[in-house]
Amino acid sequence: MQRDKFFKEIENLNHPNEKLIKTHCSYCGMQCGMNLRVNTQTNKIIGVEPRYDWPVTVGKMCPKGVTAYQQTNHKDRLLKPLIRDDASLKGTAEGFREASWDEAYDLIAKKFKELQTEYGKDSLSVFSGVSMTNEKCYLTGKFARVALGTRYIDYNGRFCMSSAAGGFLRSFGVDRGSTLPWTDIHETDCLFIAGSNTAECHPTSMFRIWNVQERGGYIIVVDPRETPIARRADLHLDLQPGTDLALANGIVNQLIEMGYIDEEFINKHTNGFEETNELVKDFTPEYTSMLTGVAPEKIIRAAEIYGKAPNAVVMFARGVEQQHKGVDNVSAYTNMALVTGKIGRPKAGVATFTGQGNGQGGREHGQKSDLLPGYRKITNPKHVEEVCSVWGITPEEMPQPGVSAYEMIELMEQKTIRGLYLLCSNPAVSAPNQNFVRKAFKALDFMVCSDFYLSESAEFADVILPAVTWSEDEGTVTNIEGRIIKINKAQEPVGESKPDWQIQVELAERLGRGKYFSHLKTARDVADEFRLATKGGYADYYGATWDKIDKQDGVFWPCKDEKDEGTPHMFLDKKFYHPDGKAKICALPYRPPAEEPCEKYPLRLTTGRVVYHYLSGNQTRRIPFLHDMCPEPYVEIHPDTALTYNMEHEERVRLFTRRGEAIYKVKLTEAIRKDTVFVPYHFGHEDSINLLTIAALDPISRMPEFKACAAQLEKVELKKVQ
Amino acid sequence: MKKRLYLELENCIGCRSCLAACTQCGGHEERNRNYVYDVNPLVNRQTMPLMCLHCENPACARSCPAQAIQIHETGAVLSALVEKCIGCQNCTIACPYGIPKFDHEQNLMYKCDLCIDRTKDGISPMCASVCPSNTLQWLTDEEIDNKKKQFNLDNGKWVTSMPYLEGETNVKVNLPGILQGITKLF
């Protein structure tokens, strides 16, 4: 299926006494195909071999993917449950002792019951993540609502994909991250890529992206930094961080002005054009330039290229989404496709670069505070009834919607939430405003953390449960395209570690809720219940059986039944998912970043990734090759800016905001705006840039504004002298 | 059909996946054998890989007093034979591209062998297998000829082994600039 010109028949190298297990990478939404090499005598994973026959990535892997297998048998793996009796040591890695699963489960059940008896059901919370299979994500939502009976569950997608989800829901009425398969990308004529450092964050998209230029097509990149993809782009719109909404409005203004709109498409298939047309009239190239810092002629040229392109894809990522108007940014860039009708056909559409491995699937099936499996709403009585019938509970037993990830942390600080079960996430690095977050975790009466390494967040736990890595369990993941794929098990769990679904089933039994969970004995059992629970929802996975996934090289949702082959291209019939079948062109007034530079904090601070690390770095910082390539964070500063502070390359300087400070090594580069500084966010403790970032939340997605706040620099030596 | 390593430097994104993958080739003792350079790191993000070009008449082998560097029938210039290498480092000095590396502990030279256990059977070397940007590709001579036709540069010349390199090489290189001759679609 979808074997394109990049696909080559290449046989794998088979070493003696080894077998190859087909699977996908543990890290980002690309979910590159890979084979894990397993020694048939020790039954241990010992290496990686390219998976040339995976149609999306044809054997390609970034340095994280190549070394991903080194996580499994790593010396830092947690082999047994750990208990810490001395709560005064919270926030350190000290004081843990090994314990049996029985002792750990007993303690958790006792503490959870005590807290709920004293403070009510909602005194417990679940904070989860989406770097795990759909089956685990699904069961985590059920565990919170059925085993714990709490309303407070949310997940790290609030720091990742929630703005894309909110924007797509508003524009299309459905949230599938890409309206087209990745195998279309290289065949389009123009890629408009905003807020995505694609070469570092989704490297295996690059061979397709460069091919657009090789064919004579165009690449337009929107980024405050001259990233590797911006360097080679036909046009680089070097905007100030946090001004995307103005730029998108400005481009739509020019698309209308220059006559590139598709009136027939607008009339037949969309609502909201008139209001939007009215609103964007103000966003002339000159006015947009004043707001964004992008030269007017570049704005005009971008509209001209995108408007002329027979087919074009608008793409974006966290750069536009991690803002307190992230949802508006997503809808505003999506407007470009809707006013020109460049959507609902092959080689044209809109896509977000999904961050986490299962950022797509993990947000659809009930880990979000207000969602249930199949993208159902917990506030919709019919939806609640449908899910209750699968779970075997009554609608009255279904908890109310909770609050978003960062707001849960606020409730911990206020003692409304007193217990936490954290899994698959490391918010003590990844959440904004870390000084507050760490204080909130310390304030908890009882915290359980499930992970396969002792993360910075685990340092706040009373009990740590050893989970398995992705290679020691099986299940499905939904990749960047909306394609459901299969992760396969390559070796038995290390030590006494267990998959999170099994931990939840056993914990539910201890909590006296076994009758809702005990029938789930294998990952496949969870998968079967999960598919059933999605049936009839609009993210319908019912027809995506493991056999079909294997046979078809993945299944694009929605996939309603056995005969349904899935939906690689969305909206081919020009039907959108709003009740009237139309898409919404959104009129979105501009708002500046929540915190603008001032005399005291004159610089714009933005954060992001490097190619060698994944998210909080809990996994990748432990891999020797990746650590060697990028052992510590740094602050990127333009040489002209550094000159005004009298700072030199590699000098250690203090960077600070209203919320916190950190010391970083200076990295001078002309590939950044003079008014902006950049720090990668993969590092913990005193190195974490999230000590400085702002928790200004988007009103819809509750996404914090990681990408823009006001900061100041100071020489460290000078301070000592004072 | 014979395939060659082909480098298109314009595509490099500096991810160093090629170096990570190099350590994963079974015969490489988990040490990477090539290089990726930041071309001008204080100015921009341009990077380029520096891979062994597997010269047809390799200076490393010519300079070796112990004949430790063998040339495989596929043209791959192999890493020094452990039993023959005397650790003189002539090869590291003779190579015009600075490819051979030296292990001071073992007193042995080691270099790219083009993943000979893969390429002897026509399987793509690890670096070209994983390269996310298609900077490194594993192509037939016919495919390389097509590249010549496709990238018709300003100066009318195919920028490859001659005259910029020391001599003829088995690996073919295309320097930055491939997009100059492209006709835009619109």
- List pLDDT tens digits, range A82-132: 999 999 999 999 999 999 999 999 999 999 999 999 999 999 999 999 999
> Which tens digit of pLDDT belongs to each residue from A635-669?
999 999 999 999 999 999 999 999 999 999 999 99
The letter for the amino acid at B1 is: M
The tens place of each residue's pLDDT in chain B, 186 residues long, gives 789 999 999 999 999 999 999 998 876 777 889 999 999 999 999 999 999 999 999 999 999 999 999 999 999 999 999 999 999 999 999 999 999 999 999 999 999 999 999 999 999 999 999 999 999 999 999 998 888 777 765 555 555 545 567 788 899 888 777 787 788 999
Percent of chain A with pLDDT over 70: 99
**Right CATH for A161-352 from 3.40.228.10, 3.20.20.70, 1.10.10.10, 3.40.50.10420:** 3.40.228.10
- The residues near A135 (Cβ < 8 Å, ≥ 6 apart) are A475, A476, A501, A523, A526, A527, A530
Cβ pair A66:B123 closer than 8 A: no
Tell whether A218 lies on the interface with B, counting CB pairs under 8 A: yes
Rounded to the nearest angstrom, the minimum Cα separation between A354 and chain B is 17
Q: What's the whole-number average pLDDT of chain A?
A: 97
Q: What pLDDT does residue B177 have?
A: 78
Cβ pair B123:A213 closer than 8 A: no
CB A617 within 8 A of CB A683: yes
Rounded to the nearest angstrom, the minimum Cα separation between B141 and chain A is 16
User: What residues does each domain of chain B span?
Assistant: 1-54+118-185, 56-111
Q: With a cut of 80, say whether residue A719 has pLDDT above it.
A: no
Q: With a cut of 70, say whether residue A2 has pLDDT above it.
A: no
Terminal-residue alpha carbon distance, chain A: 67
Helix (H, G, I), strand (E, B) or coil at A193: strand
Tell whether A191 lies on the interface with B, counting CB pairs under 8 A: no
Closest by CA position to A28, among listed A317, A481, A357, A351: A357
Cβ pair B132:A215 closer than 8 A: no
Rounded to the nearest angstrom, the minimum Cα separation between A262 and chain B is 19
- Number of Cβ within 10 Å of residue A218's Cβ equals 24
Q: Just give the CATH number of A82-159+358-534.
A: 3.40.50.740
Residue A257 φ then ψ, to 5°: -55, -45
Q: What pLDDT does residue B153 have?
A: 58
Q: What pLDDT does residue B164 have?
A: 64
CB A457 within 8 A of CB A428: yes
Chain B partners of A50 at a C-beta cutoff of 8 Å?
A: 124, 126, 129-130
> Which tens digit of pLDDT belongs to each residue from A561-595?
999 999 999 999 999 999 999 999 999 999 999 99
User: What residues does each domain of chain A span?
Assistant: 1-70, 82-159+358-534, 161-352, 603-715
Closest by CA position to B28, among listed B90, B91, B85, B103: B103
Q: How far, in Å, CA of A203 to CA of B14, rounded?
A: 10
Rounded to the nearest angstrom, the minimum Cα separation between B41 and chain A is 7
> Which tens digit of pLDDT belongs to each residue from A671-716?
999 999 999 999 999 999 999 999 999 999 999 999 999 999 999 9
Cβ pair B118:A629 closer than 8 A: no
**Right CATH for B56-111 from 3.30.70.20, 3.40.390.30, 3.40.50.2000, 1.20.120.140:** 3.30.70.20
Domain at A1-70: CATH architecture: 2-Layer Sandwich (3.30)
Chain B partners of A639 at a C-beta cutoff of 8 Å?
A: 42
Q: What pLDDT does residue A720 have?
A: 52
> Which tens digit of pLDDT belongs to each residue from A440-458?
999 999 999 999 999 999 9
Q: Which CATH class is domain A603-715?
A: mainly beta
Q: Number of CB pairs < 8 Å for A and B?
A: 134
Q: With a cut of 70, say whether residue A1 has pLDDT above it.
A: no
**Where does A479-618 show beta strands of DSSP type E?**
483-487, 555-556, 583-584, 603-608
CB B42 within 8 A of CB B162: no
Cβ pair A66:B41 closer than 8 A: no
Q: Lowest-pLDDT range, A2-6, A7-11, A89-93? A: A2-6
Q: What pLDDT does residue B145 have?
A: 86
Confidence of residue A722 (pLDDT cuts 50, 70, 90): very low
> Which tens digit of pLDDT belongs to each residue from A486-544?
999 999 999 999 999 999 999 999 999 999 999 999 999 999 999 999 999 989 999 99
Per-residue exposure over A626-649, b if at least 16 CB sit within 10 Å of its own CB, e if not: beebbeebbbbbbbebbeebebee
Chain A partners of B139 at a C-beta cutoff of 8 Å?
A: none
- The residues near A57 (Cβ < 8 Å, ≥ 6 apart) are A30, A32, A33, A51, A204
Please give the model's pTM, rounded to 2 decimal places.
0.97
Widest Cα–Cα separation across chain A: 75
Q: What pLDDT does residue B152 have?
A: 62
What is the full DSSP assignment across A222-257? Answer: E-SB--HHHHHSSEEE-PPTT-HHHHHHHHHHHHHH
CB A26 within 8 A of CB A357: yes
* CATH 3.30.70 given to domain B1-54+118-185: yes
Identical fold for domains B1-54+118-185 and B56-111, yes or no, is yes
